[in-house]
Amino acid sequence: MILAHRHFPALSVCLIVIMAAVSVSVSAGVQPNNQHEIKHLLKFIADSGCQLERNGKYHSASEALSHIKNKYDYFVDEIKTTEDFIRYSATKSLMSGKYYHVLCKGRMPVKTADWLLEELQRFRAMGGVDGE
């Protein structure tokens, strides 16, 4: 940085502007406590052994996790809360408008959003720690 400052002052200014912009965009996103909850929900999906039904087709927990992560990455600028994460990433198909459902062994299928909101409520009641 010192070399850039002495020999390329415009580059130094440019680097400072870029670093400031990055720090603003990170702080404007998902808050750390929400990041913690989202990570928990992603782990919950991965460890569930349940199947996710999207548009009439069933997908394994790992396939569901991959899809939900992709939607999370796509909508990251819109997501400020854990509930936003569920709404944007794990509720319904953007293409068909059909709700996602989760099928866990021994349970009736439920909307994925309801399943994740229930887990979020349980997680918060435990003080934001895994009850394992």
Note whether 38 and 5 are same-domain residues: no
pLDDT digits (tens, 9 = 90+) for 78-125: 999 999 999 999 999 999 999 999 999 999 999 999 999 999 999 999
pLDDT digits (tens, 9 = 90+) for 18-59: 433 333 333 347 888 899 999 999 999 999 999 999 999 999
Q: Are 15 and 4 in contact (CB under 8 A)?
A: yes
Note whether 51 and 88 are same-domain residues: yes
Residue 132's pLDDT is: 52
Note whether 36 and 64 are same-domain residues: yes
Q: Is residue 132 part of a domain?
A: no
Residue 16's pLDDT is: 41
Average pLDDT, rounded, for the chain = 83
Query: Is the pLDDT score of 72 beyond 90?
Result: yes
Residue 24's pLDDT is: 32
Q: Which own/partner contact pairs does 32-41 have at CB distance under 8 Å and 24+ positions apart?
A: 33/128, 34/80, 34/81, 34/82, 34/85, 36/128, 37/82, 37/120, 37/123, 37/124, 37/128, 38/72, 38/82, 38/85, 40/123, 40/128, 40/130, 41/82, 41/85, 41/86, 41/116, 41/119, 41/120, 41/123
Number of domains in the chain: 2
Give this prediction's pTM: 0.75
Note whether 15 and 65 are same-domain residues: no
Strands 57-59 and 101-103: unpaired
Note whether 51 and 100 are same-domain residues: yes
Q: Is residue 131 part of a domain?
A: no
Instruction: Look up the domain containing 17 and give its range.
Output: 1-26
Note whether 45 and 20 are same-domain residues: no
